[in-house]
Structure 1
Amino acid sequence: MSTRAVAGVIVLGALTTVLDTTIVNVALNPLVREFDVPLTTIQWVASGYTLALAAVIPATAWAMARFGSRRLYMLAMTVFTLGSALAGLAWNAESLIGFRVLQGLGGGMVMPVGMAVMMQAAAREGKQGAMMSLLGLPILVGPVAGPVLGGWLVDEVSWRWMFLINLPVGLLTVVLAHRVFPRDAPQPGRRLDVPGLLMLSPGLAAVIYGLTRASEGSDGLGSPAAFLPVLVGAALVVGFVARSLTVAEPLIDLRLLRRRPLAVGATTMLLFVTGYFGSMLLAPMYYQEVRGTSVLASGLLHAPAGLAAGTMMQVAGRLVDRVPPRLVVLPGILLAATGLAAFAAQAEPDASYLRLGIALAVMGTGVGMVMMPNIAAATRAIGPADAPAASTLLNITSQVAGSIGPAMISMVLAGRLAGTAGAGEPADLAGAYQGSYVWGIVAMAAAALPALLISGRRPAPVPQAGGAVDRAADLRSREVADK
């Protein structure tokens, strides 16, 4: 089956799971009224999903070896679809939160398994950049489309359809994966690193939980409810790192980071995604709070960023297969940071919507040059045997950064808004948002430093025919070229 058919199925499944990360954000207040519970309770409809995503990703590499990528992908999509159906039928806030956790347990494995399958398929054709650019579409379009779709469903249909809409898409994805994914035999010889799993999954969940609690209160990380989980979680993650560097069969082989392309790509992603996803939180809130737009309108006004990113990603993904990756990723980082700075500088109460949209489009263009081209450059030296571990590592990095960024920006914004309490003037509110953007701009621009170490050489050509020896030689040549 063609690589593009495989890519199409993976994009469909990834878009469904990524949409569910943001689609409920616009429905929090309606859900408060529906279930008659505090906002602090209903926020866990979103946070519970994110925590489940982070908790299940570390076991993905082992599970792929144990069950096979094809079987695991179909199982993960089935669990996600089942959780969606139950969430749509929830009868109170507690049941909805529980079913969202079930959704996350399935959805957390969809992206890393899909990425591993894509890496293996794309490597055979030498089209890592082009294929990864397709896989990147859900990551960029999902957060933009989620609030728009969620706002429309809540206003025109019912909040339940935010989840029930996943049923036909999820079932179709499972059927297509069964038909087009290459069959792979399970390799159950590797044992699950249970101590490592018991350190990393709870550790990541605790850090994200603490950061989420910090963004809810005025004390930030100074609150014991936020500081203690972050401290315990960080200690568990450090313990996992120490263990993974010493045991023979770790949960995730961090020794892969000795390969410079992967280490550079992961560091670049950590900084860039932190700044990008953190800043994405602000624009819809700015439009709603400062400009007084509706929820649906705020999602539409932010759409230029996603549209520009998705369009440029297709160009950059193909370009990175032909030119040195550094010449694509580094200018993209600088362009994205410039666009974000231009938006922040103009975010006044009476700013032109056209100029703001142009700034978002400039930022999105830069983002499209960075995200998946960076992953393609990072994974070129990774052979099929290490693809599951590499994709899991990159997905954990992305998930952690995507959680840290919004939590960090939320804390900064809460502090600045507290300083304007009592004034309530649009200019004061706009100033709070503008000041908060600085942190996202700095994190995004800082990604240019590790990006300087991305390969400055053109990708090595992949033989169109040949045996295992040719492929092994090609992988070695790629690794040498990227060093």
Structure 2
Amino acid sequence: MPGTTSTAPGAPRAQAAATPHPRRWLVLAVIAISQLMVVLDATIVNIALPEAQADLGISDADRQWVVTAYTLTFGGLLLLGGRIADYWGRKRTFLVGMVGFALASAIGGLATTGGMLFAARALQGAFGALLAPAALALLTVLFTEPKERAKAFAVYGAIAGGGSAVGLVLGGVLTQYIDWRWCLLVNIPIAVVALFAAIPLVPESRAHGDTRYDIPGAVVVTAGLVSLVYGFTRAAEDGWDATATIGFIVAGVVLLAAFVVIELRSSHPLLPLRILLDRNRGGAYLASTLIGAGLFGAFLFLTFYFQQTLGYTPVEAGLASLPITAGVLISAGAASQLLPRVGAKPLMVAGAALAAVAMLSLTQIDVDSSFVAHLLPAQVVLGLGLGFTFVPLSSLALVGVPEHDAGAASATLNATQQIGGSLGTALLNTFFTSAVTAYLAGRIPDPTTVAQATIHGYSVAFAWGAALILVAGLTTMLLIKVRKEDLATGAVHMG
């Protein structure tokens, strides 16, 4: 899945240090290791999921929790994690986040039931929400000279982008030659190395001022999102008109509405709503949510299609997924050059169109589709679309943001992608399950029919993914009005 780089939630403003920290480049290496661990975890687990599902007896309707339990807690708690890092101490938060992430990985790697694995993934997300903003805030504090800071964030961004590719291959190797559990357990040695290096090297820093936290807001928004996702999951098993399905979806909507009320009344809101009310930023966040919703589920289904339908080994499935990353790297570089010349809107619309075309192409897969003729070009085009979309989004999220809101604004962009991915994965998995059940109704469930039903389910999921991405493109066309001149003067783009 695509990596996202953004400035830290509540990132400290450039506090000009008289003398730069002498070991700042060593600290960057430590932070890079921690970032690699978090990024690896997303793609490694995707490749391991088919074997984990079989090993732990997880149902098709519930398997999406391996993804969504992580993205929900990470996205829901990210802004709170940024404030905790600023006021509790960035080094302390970084260390606690790393230790917690490693322990949660150990629990997941030793899981004996699906529920235990889901809980471990949720814990990983919660500690990741401490680790990621603390790491970014440390970079912002340590690298105050603009050129050095640009280099530091470039290293961080390269790991965010390239780490996902490493995760795909490493996940395949670990799953195929050792055990799927090592896709989680591998975080432990990485965390130990980073931890022992961080303790003597990383300096402590914290912000001053109002140190109150919006705990009610964080709890309510996360509970609302979990309720929505659980409602979608119930729909896969009981139908959309079931009492449980409707009840959890309604509860989720009510809790999210309550979150808005809490934010309006709070003197120290988790998400200042003024950030969302700007037309361009609001449009960027909505597009980001929709794109995340359309894509995360697609990555999940591609993994299962490669391994369960085409019979690829985990290593082959990891390698087969790399064209998306290649496409992203190509178009992200091009988009960075084009953004000052053509502006954000044309790039985002073109990106959404490319990604939607690729997703529609994937609806035509069959039990024996050619990788070179069909799957390779579709994935490259999908990656190209992503790069053209995410680079402008990073700039749009910060256009015209007051300095004291910059951290929250960029963190919100990251959170919207995670939350969109959570909701989209659950929704597309429900559409997949329902489509398979409907296809098999009245048919004899022999191996050929089951295979065709599964392909039908994948096609339906990809079609809905394409629809969500097209709506994201439409949202961009209607709401984004920022000019290319505004990006040059109003955006604070790091990463």
Equivalent residue number for residue 370 of structure 2: 352
Higher alpha-carbon deviation: 90-99 or 312-321: 90-99
Query: Which residue of structure 2 aligns with residue 162 of structure 1?
Result: 183
Query: Counterpart in 2 of 1:106?
Result: 127
Which residue does the alignment assign to 1:304?
323
Cα distance in 2 between the residues matched to 1:413 and 1:102:
27
Q: Does 1:440 align with 2:452?
A: no
Unaligned runs of 5+ in 2: 1-19
Residue 392 (structure 2) aligned to one of 342, 363, 373:
373
For the residue of structure 2 that corresponds to 1:379, the secondary structure is coil
> Structure 1 length as normaliser, TM-score?
0.80
Alpha-carbon distance, 1:225 to partner: 4.1
Q: Which stretch shows the higher mean deviation, 26-35 or 319-328?
A: 26-35
List aligned pairs for 1:458-477, cutoff 5 A.
Answer: 458=485
1:56 aligns with 2:81: no
Of the structure 1 ranges 69-78 and 3-12, higher mean CA displacement relative to structure 2 is found in: 3-12
Q: CA RMSD in A?
A: 3.8
**Against the structure 1 CA distance between its residues 114 and 96, is the aligned structure 2 distance closer, same or farther, given a 3 Å change threshold?**
same
* CA distance in structure 2 between the aligned counterparts of 1:325 and 1:122, rounded to whole angstroms: 28
Q: What corresponds to 1:464 in structure 2?
A: none
Cα displacement (A) at 1:237: 1.0
Q: Which AA in structure 1 matches 2:97?
A: A
Within 1, Cα distance between the matches of 2:362 and 2:57?
37
| C-alpha contact (below 8 Å) 1:305/1:360 kept by paired residues | yes
Q: Percent identity?
A: 27
What is the deviation of 1:448?
A: 1.6
Tell me if the contact between 2:289 and 2:417 (Cα under 8 Å) persists in the aligned partners.
yes
Task: Tell me, yes or no, if structure 1 residue 150 matches structure 2 residue 162.
Answer: no
Distance in 2 between residues matched to 1:334 and 1:301, nearest whole Å: 23
Distance in 2 of aligned mates of 1:223 and 1:137? 46
Distance 2:346 2:144 in 1: 21
| Distance change in 2, residues 1:441/1:93 (3 Å) | closer
Q: Distance in 1 between matches of 2:47 and 2:257?
A: 36
TM-aligned CA deviation for residue 88 of structure 1: 4.1
Matched residue, 1:264: 283
Tell me the residue number matched to 1:457: 484
Cα distance in 2, alignment partners of residues 213 and 175 from structure 1: 44
Cα-to-partner distance string for 1:122-159 (whole Å, 9 max, x where unaligned): 99739999987765666666666545433321321234
Aligned residue in 2 for 1:362: 381
Deviation by residue 1:349-378 (Cα, 9 ceiling, x = unmatched): 343211220121011011112114311232
1:241 CA displacement: 0.7
SS in structure 1 at match of 2:265: coil
Matches within 5 A, 1:229-378: 229-320=248-339, 324-345=343-364, 347-355=365-373, 356-378=375-397
* Long gaps (5+) in structure 1: 462-476
What are the residue-to-residue correspondences of 1:164-183 with 2, within 5 Å?
Answer: 164-174=185-195
State how many pairs are aligned.
462
1:55-94 aligned at under 5 Å gives the runs: 55-88=76-109
- Partner SS for 2:484: coil
Shift of 1:348: 2.7
Q: Which shifted more, 112-121 or 65-74?
A: 112-121
| d(CA) in 2 for partners of 1:48, 1:409 | 15
- Report if aligned partners of 1:196, 1:244 keep a CA contact under 8 Å in 2: yes
Aligned to 1:478: 490
Quick one: which of 221, 232, 235 aligns to 1:211? 232
Separation in 1 of the partners of 2:346 and 2:147? 19
CA displacement, residues 418-475 of structure 1 (integer Å, 9 cap, x when unaligned): 13223644555434432332111111122122323152323566xxxxxxxxxxxxxx
Q: Which residue of 2 aligns with 1:414?
A: 433
CA displacement 1:261-305 (0-9 Å, x = unmatched): 322221120111111222222222333444333343333222211
The structural deviation recorded for 1:172 is 4.2
Shift of 1:59: 1.8
Amino acid at match of 2:227: A
Q: Distance in 2 between matches of 1:432 and 1:29?
A: 16
Query: Quick one: distance in 1 between partners of 2:321 and 2:281?
Result: 32
153-162 or 267-276, which moves further after superposition?
Answer: 153-162
Higher RCO, Cα 8 Å, sep 6+: 2
Counterparts of 1:8 and 1:317 in 2: how far apart (Å)? 25
Moved more, 36-45 or 154-163: 36-45
